[in-house]
Chains A and B, each alone.
Chain A
Amino acid sequence: MMEAQTIPKPIIPRFPSLKFILRAVAVLIVAALFFVPNYVEDTYILHMMILIFINVVMGSSWNILGGYTGQYSVGHAAYFGAGAYTTMLLLQYKQVAPWYGVWVGAAAALVVAVIIGSICFRLRGPYFVLASIAVAEIFRVATLNLKDITNGAEGVLITEIPPLVIGGRLITDWASKVPFYYIGLVFALLIIGVTWLVRNSKLGYYFQAIREDQDAAHSLGIGLTFYKNVALAISAIFTSLAGSLYAVYVGFIDPSTVLGLDVSVQIVIICIIGGIGTITGPVVGAVLLVPLSEALRSNMITDLLIKVGIVGEETRMGLFLKEHLSQAHVLIYGILVVVTILYMPAGIVGFVRRMTARKARA
């Protein structure tokens, strides 16, 4: 065999490359995010940021299974709900503090993942998708009907979160949004870090090989069931963290808000719009979709159109939008997904990458 030195090295890009600049900007943004609560008093902005962080965690977790391993689960509400319900029930009925409860929730999600994985991974392609929906629905219906444990359709409301005291010092009494902001930020950075580690390890190569061609992967020594279950386990654990944080932050859950099919779909849409199988995709997806859905729901867009003067407040158009646009957010979501799939099948991140690659060649 020949010496390794004779192998030509890839061309070294100009310094500082675009990639380097983007990375530096990302680091600065992350650093800045830690100081946001010091300067921003507006609770609505903090609320939006917390929701964005939760959605980043949801999207990035799904991305490990769906984006890297190619197993399109549309049943991730099961793990979100497993985390949310475990943490909430422990807190409300057993007085277990949520900072312990989330880990029990993660363990519960892991158990759910093993059950779902052993059923669904026998199937491939669309059959896997359908099975993942069905199994998640089973969990929703079970939660709805096991009234003695879950309080059924009435849901679980927390009345009080115990103050967090470390070494006799009060860290927070959870009265403001700031502690939730920091927890959300840390969870989001954690899953992004985990995704990065996975992508650059043996796991990442194996996950992507399974996504590209299962039979070829199998013949190269990759145990399909084992590695799919590993991807699902990582994905489920972090999805449950998002679920627990959401539940404790909002303070109320019921089967439809944390276990419904629309939670599963929301998770997938974040990734489709942002870009499947990339680290930044779910982040971009969450940053775009959370404000959009909030704006639609709260009729902010109609108010803006009227303020700018594009539609008059008393015209038929104005009245129509005022009445109906806030109910149409699902419709607009749908249109957005269709447009993305038609014109940017690799999501926004994929689209931008292709554009910059084209520019670099020209």
Chain B
Amino acid sequence: MAILELRHVSKFFGGLAANSDVSFEVPVGTIMGLIGPNGAGKTTLFNCITGYYPPSKGEIVFDGRAMNGLLPDKVCKLGMARTWQKVRPLTNLPVLDNVIVGALCRTRSVRDARRIAQEQLHIVKLEGKAHLLAGALPIGERKKLEVARVLATKPKLLLLDEVMGGLNPAESEEIIQLILDIRKEGITQMVIEHDMKAIMRLSDRIVVLNSGEKLAEGSPDEIVNNPQVIEAYLGAES
């Protein structure tokens, strides 16, 4: 069963097609990798899916429900949460409060939200930094905070936009373990990543975007052996 289904999704900015005619399905409980060269339209696609832009054409169906025109807050309430390529911590609030804001998506009670937030911080191993201001964290911990914050919204589908960007290998490894743990909880994930080794290890299936169009879709093995994908990344043999 697919939790997310894209049907012929296109997004135009003026005459520029950032995404054109992209269709695929994300099965429940899997990790879907989304890769492509710079400017392929990966983040734009995330923005369309999560309600930041309405798609110009096509349909996005989440959990059996058409999402077209829903704003990001409604999308989040329905159970789809995203992280940002450029992290967006609430800098002047403590780390714990950042996660509480996420947890309040599912409860009115600040006390319950605080308990959920503490659990999430524990999962990403930031519980020792709960009382620091989020702005004081280094980049690796900001990325973890971002993950803890979206997890606190109790999503069914999590969209991770380059959570490993700018991290050192040890930090990346921690995030990989975290993503695998999240899958064990039954949360479906869609992951944009430039680190090929990581994405091949994590993904059950991969969609490759190039110039806004879907170039290929398949298992990691199929993708690495796909001549079109190799061409898109390394250039055509002349």
Which residues of chain A have a CB within 8 Å of any CB of chain B? 1-2, 4, 6-8, 10, 200-202, 205-206, 208-209, 212-213, 215-224
Cα-based distance from A226 to B90 in the complex (angstroms): 20
Q: Please determine whether A220 and B105 come into contact, CB atoms closer than 8 angstroms.
A: yes
In the complex, B169 has a CB within 8 A of chain A: no
Known A-B contacts A212-B93, A221-B73, A221-B153; A4 and B104 likewise in contact (beta carbons under 8 Å): no
In the complex, B219 has a CB within 8 A of chain A: no
Known A-B contacts A8-B127, A215-B88; A220 and B122 likewise in contact (beta carbons under 8 Å): no
B52 partner residues in chain A, CB cutoff 8 A: 215
CB-contacts of B100-143 with A (<8 A): 100-102, 104-105, 108-110, 113, 115, 118-119, 121-123, 127-128, 130-131
Cα-based distance from A130 to B151 in the complex (angstroms): 38
A7 partner residues in chain B, CB cutoff 8 A: 118-119, 121-122, 127
| Residue in contact with A219 in the complex, picked from B50, B91, B121, B130, CB distance below 8 Å | B50
A6 partner residues in chain B, CB cutoff 8 A: 122
Q: Please determine whether B90 and A216 come into contact, CB atoms closer than 8 angstroms.
A: yes
Q: Please determine whether A222 and B128 come into contact, CB atoms closer than 8 angstroms.
A: no
Q: Please determine whether B92 and A212 come into contact, CB atoms closer than 8 angstroms.
A: yes
Q: Chain B interface residue count: which class?
A: 35 or more
Cα-based distance from A1 to B97 in the complex (angstroms): 20
Query: Besides the contacts A1-B123, A221-B105, what 14 more A-B pairs have beta carbons closer than 8 Å?
Result: A202-B108, A202-B113, A209-B93, A209-B101, A212-B92, A217-B101, A219-B73, A219-B82, A219-B84, A221-B102, A221-B153, A223-B73, A223-B74, A224-B73
| Residue in contact with B76 in the complex, picked from A4, A8, A212, A221, CB distance below 8 Å | A221
Cα-based distance from A271 to B76 in the complex (angstroms): 34
Q: Please determine whether B119 and A202 come into contact, CB atoms closer than 8 angstroms.
A: no
Known A-B contacts A201-B110, A208-B90; A220 and B115 likewise in contact (beta carbons under 8 Å): no
Measured CB to CB, the nearest residue on chain B to A214 is: B88
Q: Please determine whether B101 and A220 come into contact, CB atoms closer than 8 angstroms.
A: yes
A202 partner residues in chain B, CB cutoff 8 A: 104, 108-110, 113
| Residue in contact with B101 in the complex, picked from A4, A8, A205, CB distance below 8 Å | A205
The distance from the CB of A124 to the nearest CB of chain B, in whole angstroms, is 15
A222 partner residues in chain B, CB cutoff 8 A: 73, 101
Cα-based distance from A4 to B54 in the complex (angstroms): 40
In the A-B complex, the 9 residue pairs with the smallest Cβ-Cβ separation, listed nearest first, are A212-B90, A221-B76, A221-B105, A216-B88, A218-B72, A209-B101, A223-B73, A213-B88, A7-B118
In the complex, B81 has a CB within 8 A of chain A: yes
Cα-based distance from A217 to B130 in the complex (angstroms): 19
Give B40-83 as 1s and 0s: 1 = Cβ < 8 Å from A's Cβ atoms: 00000000001010000000000000000001111011000110
A205 partner residues in chain B, CB cutoff 8 A: 97, 100-101, 104, 110, 113
Q: Please determine whether B73 and A216 come into contact, CB atoms closer than 8 angstroms.
A: no
Q: Please determine whether A213 and B104 come into contact, CB atoms closer than 8 angstroms.
A: no
B128 partner residues in chain A, CB cutoff 8 A: 8
Q: Please determine whether A4 and B119 come into contact, CB atoms closer than 8 angstroms.
A: yes
Cα-based distance from A311 to B89 in the complex (angstroms): 54
Cα-based distance from A219 to B46 in the complex (angstroms): 12
Measured CB to CB, the nearest residue on chain A to B50 is: A219
- A sample of 5 cross-chain residue pairs with beta-carbon separation below 8 angstroms, ordered by A number, consists of A206-B104, A213-B88, A217-B101, A220-B105, A221-B104
